[in-house]
């Protein structure tokens, strides 16, 4: 048996299911958080101001993720 799902994906899943492995890599790399979801919306409200209300969804997502990574 494997210690974790990630260990299985690295040793077996990567070779047997390469496309699903890429999706799984994205999914399993999401850190768990205990922060309240309202905090995330408050942070987004500071990103999307009156002057920046025409930002694309991908741009907003990238800015929010960058805040979390830094």
Domains: count for the chain: 2
DSSP class per residue in 7-59 = HHIIIIIHHH-HHHHHHHHHHHTSPP--S-HHHHHHHHHHHS-GGGTT--HHH
Same domain, 26 and 47: no
Q: Is the pLDDT of residue 17 over 90?
A: yes
Greater confidence (5 vs 20) lies with: 20
Q: Which domain holds residue 6?
A: 1-30
Averaged over 12-37, what is the pLDDT? 79
Q: Is the pLDDT of residue 49 over 80?
A: no
The length of the chain is: 70
Averaged over 46-56, what is the pLDDT? 73
């Amino acid at each position: 048996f494997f210690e974790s799902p990630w260990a299985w994906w690295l040793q077996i899943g990567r070779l047997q299911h390469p496309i699903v492995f890429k999706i799984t890599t994205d999914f399993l790399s999401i850190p768990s958080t205990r922060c309240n979801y309202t905090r995330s919306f408050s942070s987004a409200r500071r990103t999307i101001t009156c002057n920046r209300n025409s930002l694309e969804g991908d741009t907003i997502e990238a800015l929010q993720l960058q805040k979390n990574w830094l």
